Amino acid sequence: MRPWLGKRADARAVAALRDLRVPFGAAWRVFCRASLPRAVADTRAAYPVLDALPPLCRGALVSLVYNRGGRLTDRPGRDSRREMAEIRGFLDAGGPENLAAVPACFVAMKRLWPTLAGLRARRDEEAAMFRRGLDER
């Protein structure tokens, strides 16, 4: 794997790594020790009020940032980070009515993947998780 670390996947990388198998235990250790802590730190950077939220709300936001990254601004000519920035605004404003608006932002992101059922379902699940977190307060 070393020649491919830090590089974007392409057809050559896929062909070279096709037969690579990573044992679940090894993958889980890397996830728990490196990937998840990085995602939590990135989520805190994007959403500084993270630690004040109920656990399920935190989990939904960490999932979002783990999968999409924590950037809240778009590159020129793009419109893919609107809802992530809106979430920040709602969280910063605080209050029950603003927090209750956050799940709709997760759902609104589905506009980015009109034909990808898995990504659309993930956003719905994150929205539901955030709602459950608010309900359990």
Tokens 């500084």 — which residue? Answer: 48
pLDDT, position 61: 98
pLDDT, position 1: 81
**How far apart (Å, rounded) are the C-alpha atoms in residues 105 and 83?**
5
**How far apart (Å, rounded) are the C-alpha atoms in residues 112 and 125?**
16
Task: Kindly report, residue by residue over 117-131, the tens digit of the pLDDT.
Answer: 999 999 999 999 999
Averaged pLDDT, 49-60 = 97
Strand (E) or helix (H) holding 123? helix 117-135
Question: How crowded is residue 124: how many other Cβ atoms within 10 Å of its Cβ?
Answer: 14
Q: Specify the 3-state DSSP secondary structure of 54.
A: coil
Side-chain half-sphere CA neighbours of 9 within 13 A: 5
Task: Kindly report, residue by residue over 75-95, the tens digit of the pLDDT.
Answer: 999 999 999 999 999 999 999
Domain extents in the chain: 40-135
Task: Kindly report, residue by residue over 22-47, the tens digit of the pLDDT.
Answer: 999 999 999 999 999 999 999 999 99
